[in-house]
């Protein structure tokens, strides 16, 4: 059973900040500055949206998490799923960047796997991850539009 726990942890890492950092650095090295800026904008918007929603709407996690401060309360909230949001952002931005249907499907499956992992780990309810996926898609599209507007 430990292998299942480890598998879900590994899948969750597909939306982790280290992967964002690696993709950001590779984008810069390859002079794909628009993608790098899209990633930064989208990641910032993910955190901003999550903080605002969780500050005004607190939903306990399936496995309740204790908190003593305002920041801990934000982390203890389950809605929306920030991991799912970040997974959807990466899937959308990388899918658009590569413009390849097979890669797009692969990226979308990764985002769905991240969402499933968060539910399986009892960190989120299904509605939390669905909201995260939808918000991530919208944030990714907004970041592409912002970068387009600034001319990169």
Query: Over the stretch 101-129, which tens digit does the pLDDT of each residue have?
Result: 999 999 999 999 999 999 999 999 999 99
pLDDT at residue 24 above 80?
yes
Domain that includes residue 117, residue range: 2-150
Q: Please list, residue by residue across 113-122, b when 16 or more beta carbons sit within 10 angstroms of its beta carbon and e when fewer do.
A: bbbbbbbbbe
DSSP 60: B
Maximum CA pair distance of the chain? 50
Number of domains comprising the chain: 1
List, in order, residues 6 or more apart from 108 with CB less than 8 Å away: 91, 95
Tell me what the mean pLDDT of segment 18-22 comes to: 92
For residue 88, what pLDDT is reported?
Answer: 98
Query: Could you give the angle at which helices 101-120 and 82-98 cross, rounded to 10 degrees?
Result: 170
Q: What is the pTM of this model?
A: 0.91
Binning pLDDT at 50, 70 and 90, where does residue 14 land? confident
Tell me what the mean pLDDT of segment 85-90 comes to: 98
Residue of 24, 67, 65 whose CA lies nearest to 42: 24
Percentage of the residues of the chain whose pLDDT score is greater than 90: 82
For residue 3, what pLDDT is reported?
Answer: 54
């Amino acid at each position: 059973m430990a292998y299942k726990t480890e598998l879900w942890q590994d899948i969750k890492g597909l939306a982790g900040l280290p992967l964002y950092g690696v993709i950001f650095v590779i984008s810069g090295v390859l002079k794909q500055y628009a993608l790098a800026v899209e990633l930064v904008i989208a990641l910032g918007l993910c955190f901003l949206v999550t903080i605002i929603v969780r500050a005004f709407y607190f939903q306990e996690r399936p496995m309740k998490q204790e908190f003593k401060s305002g920041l801990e309360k934000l982390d203890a909230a389950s809605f929306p799923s920030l991991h799912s949001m970040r997974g959807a952002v990466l899937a959308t931005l990388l899918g658009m960047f590569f413009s390849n249907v097979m890669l797009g499907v692969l990226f979308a499956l990764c985002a769905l796997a991240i969402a499933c992992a968060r539910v399986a780990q009892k960190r989120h309810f299904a509605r939390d991850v669905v909201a995260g996926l939808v918000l991530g898609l919208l944030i990714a599209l907004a970041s592409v539009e912002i970068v387009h507007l600034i001319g990169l």
